[in-house]
Amino acid sequence: MIVKLAARNLRRYLRRTLLTLTGIAFGTALAMIAIGLGDGTHDMMIRNGLQLGQGHITIQPEGYLQSPSAGLFLKETSGLLKIISSEPEVALSYPRVRGEGILSSASGGEGISFMGIDPGIEGEGELVLRSMDSGEFLDGPEGNWIVIGKKLAELLSLKVGRKTVLTVQDSQGQITSTLLRVKGIFHSGSPEIDRIYTLIPIKTVQKTLAMGNGVTSIAVYLKENRETKTVLKKLRSSISSEKIAVLPWQKIQPSLRDFVVLDDAFGYLYYLIILIIVSIGVLNTVLMSVMDRKREIGILMAVGMRPGSVLRMILAETCLIALLGTASGLIIGYGFHYYFATHGLDLSSFVGEFSLAGTVLDPVYYSSLRPARIIQIFTVIILTTITMGIYPAFKAARTEPVEAMEKP
């Protein structure tokens, strides 16, 4: 009976009910769209940042993070690669040699960051590969080739096929140089990355740095970023050597980590503002409904309805509004999410490609909304909406029948 009375009351004040439902649905849909695009942007930033960086997990010599040096390198990698490949969550792993040096041409010299890679491994250098502007990508682990960014090519007046000299400090602490030829030029969209980031065949770098078959790190890429903590714990227990550090990407790329955390905080603040707006609307609607029906509630209590039943009736009305509004919002929001997840939100006309926190942001943003997120949105909005009905319900339950039925 309580539910039937609640449903009837909502139908009697249909315009007010529809306005409230619209507000809840709009707030729910807006929260889904904002969270979906926010999570999608974070996934894109992390994915692009890790492609330029050292993967979800980095295995490197202890102390290399604090003091990068060619003298610190992993001499034996076959055992480590076997341990890594045994983890089902691991997608790919890449032995790499990182370092810094000076790249020179007839036009001068520029400080650069180089990475020795084996392009024969599937997916290695994917972000640079899809950003090639001219020339070709590296085609093997050997050869005196280098792939550079467009900004660096302009600064050093280099073109595809031109020679350049890389000067570095090798593993013995000696200054050494090697002659390289530009094989390709990429354009990532970030002037900072295009100026400093370069790729060289791994065997060439190993020979130049006099480190034999050693590498400075092994980049481990997982199937899901959310598995990082689990796999990190497993690898640390499997690799017990004190001379080897197993680090998550948050340690290797702290600027990216800090930006994602800060952006998440602003996202939750935006989410909170939406909840407050929806809550005020619900509170106003239910409270006005109680005030308008004060005489009616007084009559019901005069003929025998108990205060507890009145309380449950108002709460039932609030629950019905919350469920219908949130369900409608989820349907609308999921429709927008599906569109943005498949087609993306193209902002190329406004921003184009740019870099942030050491990573490249694509001009097309895709939504990413996990089931847990949808449940979270549904639960929070439902509970918040129902909470807003508690005060009007208690107010209605405390109505005095005699005073309520008095004519004004």
| pLDDT reading at 404 higher than 70 | no
pLDDT at 44 over 60: yes
Which residue carries 């619900």 as its tokens? 282
* Tokens 């490249």 belong to residue: 360
Between the ranges 41-50, 154-163, 283-292, 339-348, where is the mean pLDDT highest?
154-163
Query: Distance between CA 225 and CA 43 in Å, rounded?
Result: 8
CA distances from 131 to 128, 340, 353 (A): 5, 23, 11
| DSSP SS3 for 276 | helix
pLDDT above 70 covers what percent of the chain? 95
CA dist., res. 385 & res. 342, Å (int): 32
Distance CA 112, CA 200 (A): 12
Q: Which has the closest alpha carbon to 96: 48, 52, 45, 143?
A: 52
Percent of the chain with pLDDT over 90: 38
pLDDT digits over 146-192, tens only? 999 999 999 999 999 999 999 999 999 899 999 999 999 999 877 88
SS3 59: strand
Q: What are the φ and ψ backbone dihedral angles of 210, each rounded to 5 degrees?
A: 55, 50
268 Cβ contact partners less than 8 Å away, ≥ 6 residues apart: none
Q: Look at residue 399 in the predicted model and tell me its pLDDT.
A: 75
Q: What is the mean pLDDT of the chain?
A: 86
The answer to whether 61 and 244 have CB atoms below 8 angstroms apart is yes
Q: Is 79 exposed, middle or buried, given 0-12, 13-18 or 19+ CB atoms closer than 10 A?
A: exposed
Q: Is the distance from CB of 87 to CB of 234 less than 8 angstroms?
A: yes
- Using one digit for the tens of pLDDT, what is the confidence trace for 74-113? 988 888 999 999 999 999 999 999 999 999 999 899 999 9
Q: What confidence score (pLDDT) does residue 350 get?
A: 65
φ, ψ dihedrals at 81, nearest 5°: -65, -35
Per-residue model confidence (pLDDT) at position 317:
82
pLDDT at 396 over 70: yes
Among all chains, which residue has been given the structure tokens 């729910």? 28
What's the pLDDT score for residue 318? 84
pLDDT grade for 402, boundaries at 50, 70 and 90: low
Mean pLDDT along residues 14-18: 81
Measured CA to CA, the distance from residue 408 to residue 396 in angstroms comes to 18
CB 128 within 8 A of CB 147: yes
What's the whole-model pTM score? 0.76
At 229, is the pLDDT very low, low, confident or very high (cuts 50, 70, 90)?
Answer: very high
DSSP state of 141: S
Dist. CA 133–CA 145, nearest whole Å:
16
Asked whether the beta carbons of 238 and 84 are under 8 A apart, the reply is no
Contact 323, 18 (CB under 8 A): no
Q: Is 60 exceeded by the pLDDT of residue 398?
A: yes
Amino acid of residue 158: L
DSSP letter assigned to residue 363: S
Of 218, 232, 233, the closest CA to residue 64 belongs to 218
**Helix axis angle, 390-397 relative to 254-292, nearest 10°?**
20
Domain extent listing, the chain: 2-49+257-405, 54-252
Residues 316-337 pLDDT 10s: 888 888 888 899 999 999 999 9
The answer to whether 84 and 93 have CB atoms below 8 angstroms apart is: yes
Are residues 186 and 147 in contact, defined by beta-carbon separation less than 8 angstroms? yes
Query: What's the half-sphere exposure (Cβ side, CA atoms, 13 Å) at 15?
Result: 0
pLDDT score of 356? 60
- Alpha-carbon torsion (220, 226, 230, 232), positive or negative: positive
Find the range with the poorest average confidence among 14-28, 179-193, 216-230, 299-313: 299-313
Cβ atoms of 38 and 368 within 8 Å: the answer is no
> How much is the pLDDT for 312?
82
Place of tokens 């490949």: 85
d(CA 300, CA 119): 79
pLDDT per residue as tens digits for the range 230-285: 999 999 999 888 889 999 998 988 888 888 888 888 888 888 888 888 888 788 77
And the tokens for 368?
């990413």
Beta-carbon contacts of 286 under 8 Å, excluding residues fewer than 6 positions away, are 314, 317, 318, 321, 388, 389, 392, 393
Residues 71, 172 contacting (CB under 8 angstroms): yes
Residue with tokens 């039943």: 309
